[in-house]
Chains A and B, each alone.
Chain A
Amino acid sequence: MATSDMGDIQVAERALQHHFADMEQQRETSSFGMWMFLLTEIMFFGGLFCAYLVYRASYYHAFVEGSQKMNITLGATNTAVLICSSLTMALGVRAAQMGKRKLMVVLLLITIIFGFGFLGIKAVEYHEHWVNHEFPGPNFHFETGDPAHPATDAQHTEIYFSLYWAMTGLHALHMVIGIGLVAWLVIAGLMGAYTPHYYNPVENVGLYWHFVDLVWIYLFPMLYLISKKH
C-alpha cells in the first residue's frame, strides 16, 4: 500500500507542469481549456441548428413530411443508449478520481460498447434512408403523402434530409472521435497514467463525451419528433 502511494505521488509530480503552482491549479486550468473548446463546438453545431431553424420556419410542412420517415423507436433507443453511456462515463471519471484503476477501465470499456451500439443503430437507420433514396442529391426521391402539397414539398423535404444527414453525420463523427479518445484513456489507464492527483485527460474526455450526448438530446426531438402524424 505504502509503495503504491509513493508511486502515485511520483506520477503526480511528473504530471505537474512547471508553469503551474500546484495540481489543483493545473486541473482547473485544463478543465477550463476543455470548456472553452466545447463552447466553440456549441457555435459549430449552432450554425447547423440555425440553418435548421430558418428552413423549418419556412417549410414547416415539408419538415413534418420528412420527419415521418424517421424511425422513432430506433431514435429513442439511441437516446437511451447515449444516456447510459454518459452514466458509465461519469462513473468512470469518478473511479479515476478515487484511484480505482480496474473499475475505471471496465466502465470506460462499457462506455465504448455503448458508443459502438449507438453507431450501429445509426448505421441501420442510415441504410434504411439510403435504400429509400432519402439522401440529398441526384438520386433523391420523395413521395409526398399529402396531395395538397405536391412537387414543392418533395423539393423542400430534400432540405430537411440535407440537414438530417449533416447534423446527425457531424454528431456521428464526434462519436467516432469520442470512442477513439476513450480507447486511448483505457490504454493509458492500464499503463497506470492516472491517479487521484492526476486524471485531467479522463475528466476532459468525459466532458467531451457528455457534450456529444447533449447535442443528441436536442437533435432527437428536433429531427424525429416534429409532428404527431407518425
Chain B
Amino acid sequence: MAERAEHNEETGSVGHIAPAKLYVAIWAVLMVLTLTTVLVSMVDIGPMNIVVALVIATIKGTLVVLFFMHLRYSPKLTMATVIAAVFWLFLLLSLTMTDYLTRAWSTYPGH
C-alpha cells in the first residue's frame, strides 16, 4: 500500500521523517503570514478585512496540519477523517447562520 508510511531504512524508524529544513521553512512562512495579517488589519478595506484575515488563517492552519501534523504523510483514512471534520464544522456554522441571518425576513411588510 503506497499510502502507508514507509519504513525508514537509515534509522529503522517507523513513519515518515521530514527534513528539519522543511519545518524551519514552514515556520518562516507562518511568521511572515502572522505579520501580514496584522499589517493588513491596519488598512481599512471594508468587508474584505475579515475575508483576508480568514484566508490567511486558513493558509496558516493548512500548513500546520499538512506538515507539522504530518497529514501529508498520513494514510488516506486520516485525510478523509480530517476533511469530514472540516465539512461537519462547515455544516454547524452554515446551517446555524441560515437560521439567524434570515429570521428578520418574516418581519418585512407584506409577510
A197 part of interface (Cβ distance < 8 Å): yes
- Pair A57/B27 contact, Cβ less than 8 Å: no
Given the known A-B contacts A27-B14, A196-B14, are A221 and B100 also in contact in the complex, defined by CB atoms under 8 Å? no
Which residues of chain A are near B50, meaning CB under 8 Å? 226
- Pair B82/A39 contact, Cβ less than 8 Å: yes
Which residues of chain B are near A97, meaning CB under 8 Å? 8, 11, 13, 15, 17
B26-46 CB contacts (< 8 Å) to partner A: 26-27, 30-31, 34-35, 37-38, 41-44
CA distance A87 to B26 in the complex (A): 8
A177-230 CB contacts (< 8 Å) to partner B: 196-197, 199, 203, 206-207, 210-211, 213-214, 217-218, 220-222, 225-228, 230
Instruction: Give which listed residue, B8, B84, B86, B101, contacts A196 with CB less than 8 A.
Output: B8
- Pair A53/B97 contact, Cβ less than 8 Å: yes
Which residues of chain B are near A89, meaning CB under 8 Å? 68
Contact segment of A30-38, A116-124, A148-156, A160-168: A30-38
A71 to chain B, nearest CB (A): 12
Which residues of chain B are near A91, meaning CB under 8 Å? 20, 23
A215 to chain B, nearest CB (A): 9
Give the interface residue-count category, chain B: 35 or more
A140 part of interface (Cβ distance < 8 Å): no
CA distance A132 to B53 in the complex (A): 28
A58 part of interface (Cβ distance < 8 Å): yes
B2-16 CB contacts (< 8 Å) to partner A: 4-5, 7-8, 11-15
Majority DSSP secondary structure for residues of A touching B: helix
B101 to chain A, nearest CB (A): 6
Q: What mask results when residues 1 to 44 of chain A are scored 1 for a CB within 8 Å of chain B, else 0? A: 00000000000000000000001100110011001100100110
Which residues of chain B are near A203, meaning CB under 8 Å? 15, 70
Which residues of chain A are near B7, meaning CB under 8 Å? 24
- Pair A213/B64 contact, Cβ less than 8 Å: yes
A84 part of interface (Cβ distance < 8 Å): yes
A38 to chain B, nearest CB (A): 8
A181 to chain B, nearest CB (A): 15
- Pair A99/B13 contact, Cβ less than 8 Å: yes
CA distance A91 to B34 in the complex (A): 21
A170 part of interface (Cβ distance < 8 Å): no
- Pair A87/B24 contact, Cβ less than 8 Å: yes
**Which of A's residues lie within 8 Å of B, judged by CB?**
23-24, 27-28, 31-32, 35-36, 39, 42-43, 46-47, 49-50, 53-54, 57-58, 72, 76, 79-80, 83-84, 86-87, 89-91, 94, 97-99, 196-197, 199, 203, 206-207, 210-211, 213-214, 217-218, 220-222, 225-228, 230
**Which of B's residues lie within 8 Å of A, judged by CB?**
4-5, 7-8, 11-15, 17-18, 20, 23-24, 26-27, 30-31, 34-35, 37-38, 41-44, 49-50, 53-54, 56-57, 60-61, 64-65, 67-70, 74-75, 77-78, 81-82, 84-86, 88-89, 92-93, 96-97, 100-101
Please name 13 pairs of A and B residues whose Cβ atoms are closer than 8 Å in the assembled complex, sorted by A.
Answer: A31-B78, A32-B77, A35-B74, A39-B82, A39-B84, A42-B89, A50-B93, A57-B101, A98-B13, A99-B11, A196-B14, A217-B60, A221-B41
